[in-house]
């Protein structure tokens, strides 16, 4: 009987042990990479704390030791720090900050390049439009030049003909003026001749008439 009781207690204890070994519902956590380390006046925890150094801060090792090292901070302050807190490589937090900074710079550069690309694309589109308008204007100018060239040839031909016609007209006008002058002189001369001839005829007729009437009066008196 006692044996059975011992077995029951043993089984009960084993069950408790098994259940106690099963972990309860857990939550995943992460240990922060940011730590603060003491900088002391000497290589012992008994020495006075000068300053709390944050993880990732760069220090210059002046005197290395087995457990403690004498270091110098960037601000010039010197002290002792445990070697287990000193590593040759940068901390993950510092690397992360550098990566984030680089990512931010790359993002800024990308945005700048994207804006420049958009601007260049717009400028290229405008230049293409301006080039098309310039080519159209150049074609129009070329056509106008050809038309003007043809018109100039016709104009020069017409100008030559006009000058020849003007010269001929001047000559003909001069000749017509001379002929008109001669005609006027001739007409005037004829008028003089006709006038003199008429006057002579009248005078001769007067004398003839006078001489004819006079004897008739004498005969009537007889």
Per-residue HEC secondary structure of 8-56 comes to HHHHHHHHHHHHHHCCCCCCCCCCCCCCEEEEECCCCCCCCEEEEEECC
**Of the candidate ranges 71-80, 93-102, 175-184, the one whose mean pLDDT is the lowest:** 93-102
Q: Is the pLDDT of residue 9 over 70?
A: no
Q: Is the pLDDT of residue 89 over 60?
A: yes
* Total residues belonging to the chain: 222
End-to-end CA distance of the chain: 237
User: For the segment 10-66, what is each residue's pLDDT rounded down to a tens digit?
Assistant: 666 566 555 454 444 444 444 345 578 889 999 999 999 999 988 788 889 999 988
pLDDT attached to residue 49: 94
Question: 159: exposed, middle or buried (C-beta count within 10 Å: 0-12, 13-18, 19+)?
Answer: exposed
Average of pLDDT values for 171-181?
83
**Residues 6+ away with beta carbon under 8 Å from 195:** none
pLDDT attached to residue 79: 94
The answer to whether 87 touches 69, Cβ cutoff 8 Å, is no
| This prediction's pTM | 0.36
pLDDT attached to residue 180: 81
pLDDT attached to residue 77: 92
pLDDT attached to residue 47: 94
């Amino acid at each position: 009987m006692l044996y059975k009781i011992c077995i029951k207690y043993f089984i009960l204890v084993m069950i408790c042990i098994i259940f106690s070994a099963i972990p309860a519902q857990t939550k995943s956590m992460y240990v922060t990479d940011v730590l603060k380390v003491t900088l002391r006046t000497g290589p012992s925890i008994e020495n006075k704390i000068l300053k709390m150094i944050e993880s990732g801060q760069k220090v210059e090792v002046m005197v290395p030791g087995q457990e403690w090292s004498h270091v110098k901070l960037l601000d010039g302050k010197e002290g002792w720090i445990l070697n287990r807190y000193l590593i040759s490589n940068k901390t993950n937090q510092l690397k992360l900050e550098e990566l984030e900074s680089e990512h931010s710079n790359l993002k800024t550069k990308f945005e700048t390049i994207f804006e420049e690309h958009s601007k260049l694309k717009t400028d290229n589109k405008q230049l293409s439009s301006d080039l098309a308008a310039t080519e159209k204007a150049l074609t129009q100018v070329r056509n106008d030049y050809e038309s003007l060239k043809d018109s100039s040839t016709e104009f020069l031909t017409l100008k030559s003909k006009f000058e020849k016609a003007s010269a001929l007209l001047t000559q003909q006008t001069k000749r017509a003026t001379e002929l008109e002058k001669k005609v006027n002189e001739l007409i005037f001369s004829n008028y003089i001749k006709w006038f003199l001839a008429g006057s002579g005829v009248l005078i001769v007729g007067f004398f003839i008439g006078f001489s004819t009437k006079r004897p008739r009066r004498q005969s009537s008196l007889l």
